[in-house]
Structure 1
Amino acid sequence: MYTPRHFAETELAGLDRLMARDAFATLVTVADGLPFVSHLPVLYRRDGDTIELRGHWSRANPQWRHTGPALAIVHGPHAYVSPGWYTDKVAQARVPTWNYAVAHLSGTLEVHEEPDFLAAVVADLSERHEAAVGSDWRYEPDNAAHVTQLRGIVGFRLAVTAVELKFKLSQNHPEANVRKAAAALAASPREADREIATLMTERLHRREQGS
């Protein structure tokens, strides 16, 4: 990923934040010299610098046969930034841009077909998401129908060996520009715009603190 120095995020707390916001990843593998992509909910775990993702495919998805190197992309909020918001738009001939936060997680993909692994993934995913939608479905290990459904999926674990975080938040602009753009985005009806505004303001505070 092209990541200018201004936009490189080095704190893994940034990854924690993206995963807490939306644990839905783009999983990229290569087969026969061509990229193959799946979009999947994932379970995220970090212990210090040790990071793993777990999830599952439909057995009909051929990606489950692609063991080895893989890339998971985690998409954060993103927002259009108008040059009209900048204080120096005329003098500097400013142009439109797009601010965003994204994570690339590279590692080794392991495939798991063991019933215990699959059951744990399904149970953990339902525990993670059911309450958020006001429902209460749970995987029941004593329910024969639930156990049978496991035959239709294949599990995976991505042992992450490299993390690249890019938080493009106007860090290459003067403070006045950042404040004006953040204020405009904070007033937007679009939730992602407001999220970007918050991230911009936080990074500006870090700049002021010299961190």
Structure 2
Amino acid sequence: MYTPPHFNEVDRDRLHSVIEENPLGILVTNSAGLLDANHIPFHLDRTAGESGTLACHVARQNPVWQELASGDPVLVVFRGSDAYISPQWYPSKQIHHRQVPTWNYVVAHVHGRVTIRDDPAFVRRNVALLTRHHEQGQPAPWKMGDAPRDYIDAMVQAIVGLEIEITRIEGKAKLSQNKDMSDIIGASVALTERGDAAIGSAMQEAASRKVRE
């Protein structure tokens, strides 16, 4: 991933947060010289290994788990917030008109080595963790025990687990850090007013870090 120094995100906690807040990752694999991509929700364990571990499951009918071998390198892409940036939002544009449109975004590229986990206990635990995390905001959170045991057993048998030991995380936070402070603030305010609060807030934080640096 091309990452100019001013957009490079190296803080591991912030990168972990990108993963946790945007858990639907794109698993990119290479089998027999062919690239493949699968969209899968992941659970991150920050404490496992040096950089964390990702866990997920796929349908048994999905050939990806058979095309991979334990130990193979994989890439998982997690997309955070993003938005189009209009030059009209930069105060400096009104002065010298030397601005063009761009697109701001936050992404994390996770490199790691996969382990195939065709193991009902692993799969059941992964489903339980994902469910607990994503159901916690519901008035009456669903849990696996709400469904008949034989039904859950059949569903678990229909999926296969994947575990990815993270070896490296690349982060890119393109948040107008290469612009003047007034332009960063101007664009972030415009985004927030338009309803893009997530990317607007991220730009505000980037501006604050720029001041501290």
- Whether the 8 Å CA contact 2:51–2:168 is kept in 1: the answer is no
CA distance in 1, matches of 2:43, 2:212: 34
Distance apart, 1:131 and its partner CA: 2.8
Opposite residue 203 of structure 1, the aligned amino acid is: A
Show the 5 A alignment for 1:136-155: 136-140=141-145, 143-155=149-161
- The 5 A counterparts of 1:21-36 are 21-36=21-36
| Structure 2 residue 165 is matched with structure 1 residue 166 | no
Q: Which residue of 2 aligns with 1:209?
A: 212
Q: Matches of 1:17 and 1:50 in 2, distance apart?
A: 13
Cα offset, 1:93, TM superposition: 2.2
Alignment of 1:26-175 (within 5 A): 26-47=26-47, 49-65=50-66, 66-67=68-69, 68-89=72-93, 91=96, 93-140=98-145, 143-175=149-181
For the Cα contact (< 8 Å) 2:19–2:108, is it kept in 1?
Answer: no
Question: Using the alignment, how far apart are the partners of 2:187 and 2:116 within structure 1?
Answer: 45
User: How far is the alpha carbon of 1:119 from its aligned partner?
Assistant: 1.1
Partners of 1:99 and 1:168 within 8 A in 2? yes
Give the gaps of 5 or more residues in structure 2.
none
Q: Which amino acid aligns with 2:152?
A: H
Output the CA distance in 1 between the equivalents of 2:78 and 2:19: 7
Alpha-carbon distance, 1:162 to partner: 0.5
Match for 1:129: what amino acid? H
Looking at structure 2, the residues matched to 135 and 102 of structure 1 have their Cα atoms a distance apart, in angstroms, of 32
Tell whether the 8 Å contact from 1:108 to 1:159 is kept in structure 2 after alignment.
yes
Distance 1:38 1:122 in 2: 18
Q: Secondary structure of the residue that 2:143 maps to in structure 1?
A: coil
Q: Root-mean-square deviation (CA), in Å?
A: 1.8
Report how far residue 138 of structure 1 moved.
Answer: 2.0
Secondary structure in 1 matching 2:96? coil
Q: In the alignment, is the contact (CA less than 8 A) between 2:111 and 2:167 conserved in 1?
A: yes
Conserved? CA contact 1:77–1:195, under 8 Å? yes
For each residue in 1:93-120, what CA deviation from the matched residue of structure 2 results, as whole angstroms up to 9, or x when unmatched?
Answer: 2110000000000010111011111111
Corresponding letter in the other structure for 1:63: V
Displacement of 1:145: 2.3
CA distance in 2, matches of 1:7, 1:64: 34
Aligned-residue offset at 1:196: 1.0
Q: Deviations over 1:145-200 (max 9, x none)?
A: 211221110100010101000000000011111111111111113xxx21111111
How many residues are matched?
207
Structure 2 equivalent of residue 5 of structure 1: 5
Consecutive unaligned residues of structure 1, counting only runs of 5 or more, are none
**Percentage of matched positions with identical amino acids:** 34
